[in-house]
Amino acid sequence: MANFTSIPTADIQVDEPLRQEVMQYIKDNFDILYNSINGVTLEVQNGSFEFDGDGDGVPEGWTFTPYPGGSGMISTTDSAHGANCFKMVHPGGSGNGGGYLESGYYPISEIEFKLVEVALKTSAAGIKVIVQIRYFSSTKTDLSSDQDLYTSTANPTSWSDISRLLIVPSTARFFKMRLIGGYTDTNVAGSVSFDNIRLSRGAWIYHNEVLFNSSLSGGWNELTLPLVATSASLMLLINCAADIQFRPVGAATIVATYHSSLNPDTICVPVSNIGRLEMNAAVGTAATITLVGLVK
């Protein structure tokens, strides 16, 4: 990894020849500055994986750990944002996997509302993908209170965005993001690509309002929303043993799906300018849907 280097005064004296070593100092320092400022995607350092100062295939600000048989490196052939993405490869075989990419520490508090957004793509939908948050105390002691924002063996095979709300433990003051591609408990060969990792606050104008607490009637039914939900994104906390699909009233396109395998879970649901949303799920299943945030 390139490191900031203070250029020795002796090297910049009048009539001192300009050496290649000095130019390397300058280049490395500009690279570090880019990574720290211009290369930041919102609050995530090098979240688009554009900067690899030492050319080792791992983006600066992140560390990669392969699973048995696995590999991972920056890819320039099929990105979702900028020139690069990070691709992990699961070779197949019992006990094998791809690997995981982990960020550095980021400050956090239980009174903050933060969304993690990730662009994701797989070559085989059945490969196991996990987006995990690891929480730490003020002394950076692991709290062993990991939050799986996303875990699935039914993944997109074209670039898709996932958005999840951090549910922060009361004692957490730092967190790390861990992107897992091809977990070892699932024997499916293929690749997992991540890109455009973002951390956003949004303008939260609602918090902790129960929208639905009953048995699902089956088919498409309108979900009663606050009037201010027009052209916003809802962060819903759902507790239900059945999958639930969401779409604008009368529309054909599903805009979000709650997967019961993650129960309970938070999902981000966009609402169009008509300000109305409907849901579809198996009949008779009890569900509680709570609006925990609304992002304008």
pTM of the model: 0.65
pLDDT of residue 122: 97
Give me the number of domains the chain comprises.
2
Q: How far apart are CA 191 and CA 187, in angstroms?
A: 12
State the sign of the Cα–Cα–Cα–Cα dihedral 273, 256, 166, 61. negative
25 in a domain, yes or no? no
| pLDDT of the residue at 134 | 97
Residues 72 and 186 in one domain: yes
Asked if residue 55 is part of any domain, the answer here is no
Same domain, 69 and 170: yes
- CATH at 233: 2.60.120
DSSP 13: S
- Enter the tokens of residue 162: 């996932």
Report if residue 174 sits inside a domain: yes
Same domain, 164 and 252: no
Q: Kindly report the CATH number assigned to the domain that includes residue 94.
A: 2.60.120.260
Average of per-residue pLDDT values in the chain = 85
Please, where are the H alpha helices in the chain? Answer: 20-36
- How is 108-166 classified by DSSP, letter by letter? --TT---EEEEEEEESSTTS-EEEEEEEE-TT--B-S--EEEEEESS--SS-EEEEEE-
Out of 147, 177, 200, a domain closes at 200
Are 242 and 146 part of one and the same domain? no
| 213-235 residue pLDDT tens | 999 888 898 888 876 555 667 88
My answer on whether 168 and 263 are in the same domain is: no
Q: Cα(113)–Cα(119) distance, rounded to whole angstroms? A: 20
Judge if 242 and 291 occupy the same domain.
Answer: yes
- Tell me if 20 is assigned to some domain: no
Per DSSP bridges, beta strands 160-165 and 256-258 are unpaired
The confidence score (pLDDT) of residue 42 equals 45
Same domain, 271 and 223: yes
- Are 236 and 209 within 8 A, CB to CB? no
User: Could you tell me if residue 142 is inside a domain?
Assistant: yes
Task: Please indicate, yes or no, if residue 194 is contained in any of the structural domains.
Answer: yes
175 closest CA partner among 135, 144, 131: 135
- Domain range for 236 is 209-295
Per-residue model confidence (pLDDT) at position 38: 43
Please give the average per-residue pLDDT across 58-71, as a whole number: 96
Distance from C-alpha of 197 to C-alpha of 135, rounded to nearest angstrom: 18
- The answer to whether residue 36 sits within a structural domain is no
